């Protein structure tokens, strides 16, 4: 997705000596049939973790999950960092001092008619949390009045692809220690240019929120594409524009919930992508100041990372693509990833990021039956990403894993107010002997 143009050499200090009204600003410091008993054990481990957004947690692997051997040879466009999986720094950015810029004028600047929102929709921050319909339980799960299902779905359909909001308190880069500095005019103008591109060109499966008093921050969600192990999932990313942007690429953090769903998306939130300079690549694949944009980054994550065969994103694995062994391992990886994607759905429904509550609730209400129908097909042996019941190629371990997770998934859908009868998707109750046989895979 990165540009094929060469990198333009620019002075990293050029254009960053401007001041705005003599005001001071802050620098941000850089920086996973099994029995119900077994299933309940590791699921309770996950559910009992009260994680703030972006915090790394150690999550046990699924029973019988495929352990993939990592390789360390290089690849170009996208990469899962090998070796010890060290955490990268969050990078640096800018806190724009409130009142230092006329941000209402920035709103006017990026407003266009084709995103005009009907009255009562959730595009604005005041309605986005669906305050009149929801409350949050002590466990943090969003609970909805099921009688308002049609209204919630309507609001979901009208959810703006781009909007400017206020509260950034749960953003990954919000709480860094800071020191005051002045934001350069060129930096602010570049960010506003990025806003224009996003507001105008975002595809239907990407949604973005930027912050009125923190122009250096951005949050995006990408809907998992059909035909991939990520289908119908919601994947959130927090972005920080550093003080030298666009000469330095943005820093991107993935909301993992402690789960490793892709070779390029670490459980700690690191995103490996040549366009972000977090992995090697040719000159034209890396960040190009003045050419590369956050819009390109989001499209690259959607198309290059959340793809139909993520196993081949791992360094060296792409050489086995098309071979019998490589395709078998890719299918195994997809099976494990699909279950982790289901867990990510529950994590997201339990703690929807700020300003996306309406999207999360509406999306999963709208797609609950389709997701469960796909899971039922997987339990019959349908291959991950297959649109119909074609060749039954799914492993028994995978079928058991999906079967074991259905109860939790149905429960999560009910808690956000899904009104359809979902009991048909639950496996029949097992007696003790059946549970033992399922536990030991006999």
* Bridge-based pairing state of the strands 142-144 and 134-136: antiparallel
* Bridge-based pairing state of the strands 251-254 and 162-165: unpaired
Report the distance separating Cα 9 and Cα 319, nearest Å. Answer: 34
Residue 431 makes CB contacts below 8 A (sequence gap 6+) with: none
- Please, where are the H alpha helices in 202-305? 294-300
- Give the pair of three-digit tokens for residue 214: 């923190």
Report the distance separating Cα 63 and Cα 59, nearest Å. Answer: 12
- Give the pair of three-digit tokens for residue 299: 């499209």
CB of 370 closer than 8 Å to CB of 318: no
Phi, psi of 273 (to 5 degrees): -160, 130
Whole-Å CA distances, 440 to 256, 376, 397, 405: 30, 22, 11, 17
Whole-Å CA distances, 80 to 217, 246, 266, 315, 360: 25, 24, 8, 7, 27
Residue written as tokens 């297959």? Answer: 386
CB of 303 closer than 8 Å to CB of 62: no
Residue 442 makes CB contacts below 8 A (sequence gap 6+) with: none
Torsional sign, CA 301, 129, 147, 117:
negative
| 146 SS3 class | helix
Report the distance separating Cα 94 and Cα 180, nearest Å. Answer: 9
Report the distance separating Cα 290 and Cα 110, nearest Å. Answer: 20
Torsional sign, CA 298, 299, 300, 301:
positive
Report the distance separating Cα 324 and Cα 321, nearest Å. Answer: 9
Phi, psi of 425 (to 5 degrees): -90, -10
- What does the DSSP assignment read for 380-391? TTBPTT-SSS-S
Give the residue numbers marked as catalytic.
272
CB of 385 closer than 8 Å to CB of 224: no
């Amino acid at each position: 997705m990165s540009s094929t143009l060469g990198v333009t050499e620019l002075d990293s200090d050029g254009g960053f000596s401007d001041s705005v009204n003599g005001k001071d600003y802050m620098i941000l410091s850089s920086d996973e049939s099994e029995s119900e008993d077994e299933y309940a054990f590791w699921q309770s481990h996950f559910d009992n973790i009260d994680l703030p957004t972006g915090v790394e947690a150690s999550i046990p692997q699924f029973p019988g999950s495929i352990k993939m051997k990592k390789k360390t040879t290089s690849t170009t466009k996208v990469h899962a960092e090998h070796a010890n999986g060290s955490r990268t720094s969050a990078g640096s950015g800018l806190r724009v001092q409130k009142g230092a810029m006329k941000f209402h004028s920035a709103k006017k600047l990026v407003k266009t008619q084709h995103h005009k929102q009907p009255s009562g929709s959730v595009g604005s921050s005041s309605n986005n949390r669906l305050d009149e319909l929801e409350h949050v339980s002590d466990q943090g799960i969003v609970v909805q009045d099921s009688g308002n299902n049609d209204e919630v779905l309507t609001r979901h359909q009208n959810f703006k692809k781009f909007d400017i909001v206020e509260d950034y308190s749960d953003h990954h880069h919000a709480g860094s220690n800071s020191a005051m500095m002045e934001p350069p005019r060129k930096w602010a103008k570049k960010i506003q240019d990025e806003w224009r591109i996003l507001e105008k060109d975002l595809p239907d499966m990407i949604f973005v929120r930027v912050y009125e008093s923190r122009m250096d921050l951005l949050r995006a969600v990408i809907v998992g594409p059909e035909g991939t192990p990520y289908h119908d999932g919601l994947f959130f990313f927090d972005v920080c524009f550093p003080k030298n942007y666009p000469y330095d690429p943005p820093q991107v953090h993935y909301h993992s919930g402690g789960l490793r769903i892709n070779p390029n998306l670490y459980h700690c939130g690191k995103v490996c992508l040549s366009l972000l300079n977090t992995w090697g690549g040719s000159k034209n694949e890396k960040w190009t100041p003045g050419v590369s944009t956050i819009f390109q980054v989001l499209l690259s994550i959607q198309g290059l990372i959340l793809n139909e065969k993520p196993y081949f994103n791992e360094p060296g694995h792409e050489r086995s693509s098309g071979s019998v062994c490589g395709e078998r391992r890719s299918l195994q990886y997809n099976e494990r990833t699909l279950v982790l994607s289901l867990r990510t759905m529950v994590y997201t429904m339990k703690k929807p990021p700020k300003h996306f509550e309406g999207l999360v609730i509406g999306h999963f209400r709208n797609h609950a039956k389709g997701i469960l129908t796909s899971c039922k097909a997987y339990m019959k042996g349908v291959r991950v990403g297959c649109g119909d019941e074609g060749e039954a190629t799914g492993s028994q371990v995978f079928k058991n894993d999906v079967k074991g997770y259905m109860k939790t998934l149905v429960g999560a859908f009910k808690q956000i107010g899904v009104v359809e009868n979902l009991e048909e998707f639950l496996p029949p109750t097992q007696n003790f002997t059946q549970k033992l046989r399922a536990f030991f895979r006999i």
